[in-house]
Amino acid sequence: MPLFLVYWSGLLLAPAGGFVLWLRPRKQRWWVWALPSLVVGAAIAGGLSLTAPLANALVLVLAYCSYCGMTALLLRARPYVLRFLFVIAILPVIGGCLLATVGALGLGFIAADEEAAPGTSQWITPDIQCTGKQWGSAGSSAGYTVTLYQRYPVLPFLQRKLISISNVYGDVTPHPDATCENALVQFKNKSR
């Protein structure tokens, strides 16, 4: 439940914060507000995440808040050509508002899946952990996902996703068994 409240309140309040930022007469630089979103986006693209789901949710919401601030400040950007970017940048903000209002039930299901404890967890090597988690079962598809994470001894709160295998229950073409052994074999084949 805390993850849902963090996501829901962030999706609702961030656009309002961007609007308040736009109303302020002080001169703000839109690209400064874009930096946190770019850093978090690059970390997600690289497979990095925090080990605690609530910390991940807070970082995502803060990045979304900075994105909404950047979007609002694009309306004041000079040269005026940059104002055209507002039309493109506002689309994820509108999507977030729709997800927080009309799609709140779906957001609740996603947050519950993310918040659930892993069904299985084992250390393959001192720095590689394998977790298995069930997901879905909310009137839609359901399955089981096994994920290999690399942990860093120097930064114990940080992890990097190496590979993930999903089995969808009732899938016409099932994937190989989602086990830690199969995930390790696929990771070794992929890294060659």
Token digits of residue 127: 């720095």
**Residue 89 to residue 66: CA distance in whole angstroms:** 12
Give tens-digit pLDDT for 25-47.
667 777 788 889 899 989 999 99
Q: Which amino acid is at 129?
A: Q
Mean pLDDT is lowest, of 51-65, 80-94, 138-152, 163-177, for: 163-177
Reported as a single tens digit per residue, the pLDDT across 43-82 is 999 999 998 889 999 999 999 999 998 888 888 777 777 7
Distances 42 to 48, 147, 155 between C-alpha atoms, Å: 9, 20, 18
84 to 5, 39, 56, 87, 162: CA distances (angstroms): 33, 23, 32, 6, 38
pTM, two decimals, is 0.82
pLDDT of residue 113: 84
Residue 162 contacts residue 187 (beta carbons within 8 Å): yes
